[in-house]
Amino acid sequence: MKLLTTATLLAATASAKSLRTPPILLQEPIPNEPTQHNADYHIPTIRESTIMARRIMHLSALGTLVSTFPHALHPPPILASDNDVDEVHAYENRPEEMAGSPIGLMEYYADCEPATGNPTLLAINIATPYRNYAAGSNISLQIRWWPTQNLKIDDDDAHEDIPTPHTPAALPRFSLHGRLEPIPIKDLAASLIPACFMRAHPDSLLWQPGNDIHTSEYMRFVVEHIYWFGGFGDRARIGWLPVEDWRSVTREEVEAMSLPGEKGWRERGLRSQDEPGMVQDDEEVEGEEEAEKTDGRWGARDFRI
């Protein structure tokens, strides 16, 4: 039996080694020593990283809402309609050992209150994240940036050790931590929240407040903490971002920022002693105006009508 197990492991190892390694992984790893290779990379400042996060939140519209299951002592949700019966049945049959366990589910959101940096959610009260939150769970919203899905390396990328637009491991993502609060009717009207949200998610028309299926309401995710994972540590910032910076980011800053994979992005840019921003080469500077027109600037995704 032991001999058979060993033979199986050897066969599996040989099979794994026979697989072709993607070209992107055949290149030399980045050295740990502070060589010129590492010095060529500009690690974004805290402010730049915060602006990048705000731009990602503005251009994206999907996230992962994370909450934890409550203990059995919490009562089941109150039925809002006959259509909720099956949902409550599933709730009551949740395994007891799941109490306190986290769960992350895809969730629609929209950047409908850019002045505050608080994403807008259309909460279906019977849905697991909101049910958990009502039972006392903490809640967080994870958002990632993935502009293209192209794992091939172009000739123009030959100088890159690992060209970031080609691997999601090197692309930025972040987690927002905070609380939920219902959006008052006056704010719904002033910020045109329903129009904004449906511009980002036309299919959400089916579960707008007042629908015949489930009880729903617009809620804002009040951001209190931001954990930023900008990518590989030799060229990106990783850690907590100040919420004050998050809330103070302006529309102009979001429009001017470029993300990995967007036109105008420059990873190998050192900060100039005289200029506050990243150094760009002539080709990128010439294309900057065009990039602002075509690459998802604030105005193009401003859902207000």
Per-residue pLDDT, 268: 43
CA–CA dist 89, 260 (Å, integer): 45
Per-residue pLDDT, 235: 81
Provide the 3-class DSSP secondary structure of residue 6.
helix
**Taking a C-beta distance cutoff of 8 angstroms, is the pair 174, 89 a contact?**
no
Neighbours of 3 (CB within 10 A): 7
Amino acid at the residue 128: T
What is the C-alpha end-to-end distance of the chain, expressed in Å?
A: 71
CA–CA dist 7, 1 (Å, integer): 10
Strand stretches in 125-237, DSSP E: 139-144, 173-182, 216-229
Per-residue pLDDT, 299: 35
CATH topology of domain 44-78+97-147+164-257: Pnp Oxidase; Chain A (2.30.110)
Residue for token pair 């731009």: 55
Per-residue pLDDT, 298: 42
Closest CA to 168 of 145, 192, 193: 145
Q: β-strand 120-124 against 173-182: which pairing, if any?
A: unpaired
Q: β-strand 120-124 against 102-108: which pairing, if any?
A: unpaired
Per-residue pLDDT, 28: 36
Q: What is the mean pLDDT of each run of 10 residues along the chain (305 residues)?
A: 49 46 38 48 89 95 95 59 53 78 94 96 94 95 79 53 63 96 94 95 92 90 97 87 97 90 57 37 37 37 39
DSSP per residue, 240-264? EE-HHHHHH--HHHHHH---TTSTT
Torsion angles phi and psi, residue 252, rounded to 5 = -65, -40
Per-residue pLDDT, 213: 81
Closest CA to 300 of 172, 173, 120, 111: 111
Residue spans per domain, the chain: 44-78+97-147+164-257
DSSP per residue, 260-301? TTSTT--SS-PBPSS-SSB---HHHHHTHHHHHHHS--GGGG
